[in-house]
């Protein structure tokens, strides 16, 4: 399951990389167009050079064996293929081709004758390819074109051809305006390819053919391949829609559902939060936390409703007794004897004491229930010392209290006063239930330690087991029981990260107190 931060980072990186990917794609595409243009001018120069060599005065036909070898080379297309070497990223772009210089002598007559013979082929090629084609003699003097008789021998590509090979260079072309934005988008818009190839007759270089042409512009190539580009743009658009859909299902929809559930919870309705089909860890954790919070709020709401109902019932009886006594004294007090008035006043005092005791116990319950275990990390209680004090305080001839602690029993993560309050409540509860003996044993497992309190009393009836920790539930109401002792003890244990549960005793009642180990 992905994390939200990584999902967002991936989307942002993808969005940030799109311009670079597009620019790189345009560079690669344009470089391919330039190389295709280089291959075309090289092929034109090779074909025209070979044709010119055939019509050159004094040219001897090639030996039959040589022709056969060249024809056989066609069986391997890579053996005689024209290679390209231009790269927009690494090849230097030379200044614009300088004007032809005055020649040191007249053109070679044989070159003039050959140029006149090949002129129709050159004209037709120029019309079809829009290329510039110039022939020179062995000294670089032009024998065709408008600058007939002037020299191009100083050009590096022409000098390379004099050595019997060929060379392609890139030069700036002033016929295209060099706008900064246009040049950044398409560097090939303001360059021109110049290819020079030697014309060889009878094994000797007799001239040079120079072919130059602007590469296919990027925009023209894009127009020609608009279908492929449209498919690429469509793929990117679909990919963006897919990513947006993933983000919507993983983030937006769960947040909207969480917002709706929050509004329902605020209005007092039950909040149902449906798990999303596509989750990230943070959203799943947020949903789990919200569900836990909603359940806690529902439990607290039910607890408050039940508590308010029980509290109203507990206060109603003594208040009714006090009110009745006051009304009797007001109406018949003058005619009552001293003993009768004392009786009614004693009843009213008993009800008032019960109310005072209820208020005090409610304050204790509130303090225990709202405790947040302040300083619980530093709290430490020695169970043996606490049990020794309780045994001295509660042990009587009619009530036996025994305890056993393991030798390696750890200190408990609770204040000694709170631990003593919890254990004293359980001991007093067993004594008041009619038990004559109470045994306390210890247990320890991992980060938690336990104390089990088992008595020999009548035990807890099966019907009361689920209600024994409910506030105000007591079977000793006629003897002054408030039903708040066990709820206070459980609240103290849970506020320190522990628990208090009703266990299974052999005959009597068994309560198990579990607390965290100190430290």
- Residue range 59-99, pLDDT digits in tens: 887 665 554 444 444 444 444 445 567 777 788 888 888 88
326-347 average pLDDT score: 82
Q: Residues 175-200, buried b or exposed e (16+ Cβ, 10 A)?
A: ebeeeeeeeeebbbbbbbbbbbbbbb
Whether the per-residue pLDDT at 228 is higher than 70: the answer is yes
- Report the percent of the chain where pLDDT is more than 70: 77
> At which residue do the structure tokens 């020999």 appear?
456
Minimum mean pLDDT range among 138-152, 340-354, 387-401: 340-354
pLDDT grade, residue 428 (50/70/90)? Answer: confident
Do 161 and 198 meet the contact criterion of CB atoms below 8 Å apart? yes
What's the fold here for domain 40-216? Beta-Lactamase (3.30.450)
The pLDDT assigned to 230 comes to: 78
CA–CA separation, 133 vs 372, rounded Å?
A: 94
Q: What is the pLDDT of residues 451-467, one digit of tens each?
A: 999 999 888 888 888 88
Whole-number percent of the chain with pLDDT over 90: 23
pLDDT at position 425 over 80: yes
Task: Identify the top-confidence range among 1-15, 40-54, 363-377, 505-519.
Answer: 40-54
Q: How far apart are CA 516 and CA 518, in angstroms?
A: 6
CB atoms within 10 A of CB 435: 21
Backbone φ and ψ for 303, nearest 5 degrees, come out as -65, -45
At 313, the pLDDT band (50, 70, 90 cuts) reads: low
CA-based Rg of the chain, rounded to a whole angstrom? 52
Burial of 11 (0-12, 13-18, 19+ CB in 10 A): middle
**Alpha-carbon gap, residue 459 to 335, rounded angstroms:** 50
Report pLDDT for 223: 57
How many Å apart are CA 210 and CA 43, to the nearest integer?
12
Query: For the chain, how far is it from start to end, CA to CA, in angstroms?
Result: 35
Per the structure block, which two tokens stand in for 451? 């104390």
By the 8 A CB rule, do 243 and 7 touch? no
CA angle 198, 201, 203 (to 5 degrees): 90
The per-residue pLDDT of the chain, averaged, comes to 79
Are the C-beta atoms of 31 and 186 separated by less than 8 Å? no
Task: Kindly tell me if the per-residue pLDDT of 518 is higher than 70.
Answer: yes
Q: Phi, psi (5° rounding) for residue 273?
A: -115, 110
φ, ψ for residue 351 (rounded to 5)? -65, -40
Highest mean predicted confidence (pLDDT) among 57-71, 106-120, 211-225, 498-512:
106-120
Q: What pLDDT, on a 0 to 100 scale, did the predictor assign at position 210?
A: 94
pLDDT at 289: 83
Under the banding of pLDDT at 50, 70 and 90, the label for residue 206 is: very high
- Contact predicate 122/114, CB 8 Å: no
Q: Convert the pLDDT of each residue in 106-116 to its tens digit.
A: 999 999 999 99
C-alpha–C-alpha distance, residues 54 and 435, integer Å: 130
Least confidently predicted of 98-102, 261-265, 437-441, 444-448 = 261-265
Q: What is the pLDDT of residue 182?
A: 47
Using CA atoms, how far apart are residues 328 and 326, in angstroms rounded to an integer? 5
Structure-token match 């009393």, residue found: 457
Judged on CB neighbours under 10 Å (0-12, 13-18, 19+), 381 is: buried
Report the candidate in 199, 194, 247, 189 with the shortest Cα–Cα distance to residue 219: 189
Burial class (CB in 10 A: 0-12, 13-18, 19+), 55: middle
The pLDDT value given to residue 241: 79
Domain ranges of the chain: 40-216, 281-369, 383-516
Extended beta strands in 48-126, E state: 93-94, 101-102
Is the pLDDT at 367 greater than 70? The verdict is no
Give one word for 334, left, alpha or beta, with left for phi > 0 and alpha for psi -120 to 50: alpha
The CATH number of domain 383-516, selected from 3.40.462.20, 3.30.565.10, 3.40.50.2300, 2.60.320.10 = 3.30.565.10
- Judge: domain 281-369, CATH 1.10.10.10: no
Residue 290, CA distances (Å) to 268, 302, 372 in order? 15, 18, 21
Q: Is the pLDDT of residue 177 over 60?
A: no
**Range with the largest mean pLDDT of 152-156, 241-245, 339-343:** 152-156
Residue 161, pLDDT > 60, answer yes
Between the CA of residue 104 and those of 107, 113, 114, 139, 158, what are the distances in Å? 9, 20, 21, 9, 16
For 348, other C-beta atoms within 10 Å of its C-beta total: 19
Position 33 confidence tier, pLDDT thresholds 50, 70, 90:
confident
504 CB-contact burial (10 Å; exposed 0-12 / middle 13-18 / buried 19+): exposed
| Candidate from 189-203, 356-370, 448-462, 484-498 with smallest mean pLDDT | 356-370
Is it the case that residue 513 has pLDDT exceeding 90? yes
pLDDT band, very low/low/confident/very high, at 364 (cuts 50, 70, 90): low
Q: Which has more confidence, 475 or 162?
A: 162
Residue matched to tokens 């336990």: 450
Range with lowest mean pLDDT among 27-31, 183-187, 233-237, 420-424: 183-187
DSSP 76: S
């Amino acid at each position: 399951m992905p994390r939200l931060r990584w999902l967002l980072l991936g989307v942002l990186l993808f969005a940030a990389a799109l311009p670079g990917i597009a620019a790189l794609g345009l560079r690669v595409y344009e470089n391919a167009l330039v190389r295709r243009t280089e291959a075309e001018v090289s092929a034109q120069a090779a074909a025209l050079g070979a044709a010119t060599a055939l019509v050159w005065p004094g040219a001897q036909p090639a030996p039959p064996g040589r022709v056969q070898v060249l024809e056989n080379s066609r069986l391997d297309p890579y053996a005689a293929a024209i290679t390209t070497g231009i790269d927009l990223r690494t090849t230097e772009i030379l200044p614009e081709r300088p004007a032809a210089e005055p020649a040191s002598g007249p053109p070679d007559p044989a070159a003039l004758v050959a140029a006149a013979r090949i002129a129709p082929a050159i004209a037709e090629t120029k019309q079809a390819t829009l290329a510039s084609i110039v022939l020179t003699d062995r000294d670089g003097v032009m024998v065709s074109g408008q600058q007939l008789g002037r020299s191009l021998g100083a050009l590096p590509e022409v000098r390379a051809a004099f050595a019997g090979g060929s060379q392609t260079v890139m030069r700036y072309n002033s016929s295209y305006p060099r706008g900064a934005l246009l040049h950044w988008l398409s560097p090939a818009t303001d360059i021109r390819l110049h290819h020079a190839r030697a014309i060889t007759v009878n094994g000797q270089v007799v001239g040079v053919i120079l072919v130059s042409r602007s590469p296919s512009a990027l925009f023209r190539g894009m127009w020609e391949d608009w279908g492929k580009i449209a498919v690429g743009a469509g793929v990117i658009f679909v990919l963006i829609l897919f990513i947006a859909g993933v983000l919507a299902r993983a983030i937006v929809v769960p947040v909207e559902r969480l917002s709706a559930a929050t509004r329902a919870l605020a209005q007092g309705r039950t909040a149902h939060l449906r798990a999303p089909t596509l989750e990230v860890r943070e959203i799943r954790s947020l949903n789990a936390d919200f569900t836990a919070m909603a359940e806690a709020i529902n439990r607290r709401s039910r607890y408050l409703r039940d508590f308010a109902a029980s509290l109203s019932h507990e206060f109603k009886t003594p208040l009714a007794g006090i009110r009745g006594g006051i009304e009797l004294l007001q109406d018949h007090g003058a005619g009552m004897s001293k003993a009768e008035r004392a009786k009614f006043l004693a009843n009213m005092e008993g009800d008032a004491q019960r109310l005072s005791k209820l208020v005090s116990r409610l304050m204790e319950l509130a303090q225990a229930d709202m405790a947040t275990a302040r300083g619980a990390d530093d709290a430490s209680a020695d169970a043996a010392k606490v049990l020794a004090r309780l045994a001295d305080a509660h042990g009587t001839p009619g009530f036996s209290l025994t305890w056993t602690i393991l030798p390696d029993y750890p200190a408990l993560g609770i204040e000694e006063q709170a631990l003593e309050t919890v254990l004293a409540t359980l001991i007093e509860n067993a004594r008041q239930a009619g038990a004559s003996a109470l045994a306390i044993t210890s247990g320890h497992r991992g980060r938690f330690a336990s104390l089990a309190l088992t008595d020999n009393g009548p035990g807890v009836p099966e019907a009361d087991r689920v209600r024994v920790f409910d506030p105000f539930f007591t079977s000793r109401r006629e003897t002054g029981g408030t039903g708040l002792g066990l709820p206070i003890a459980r609240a103290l244990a849970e506020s320190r990260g522990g628990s208090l549960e009703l266990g299974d005793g052999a005959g009597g009642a068994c309560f198990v107190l579990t607390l965290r180990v100190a430290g």
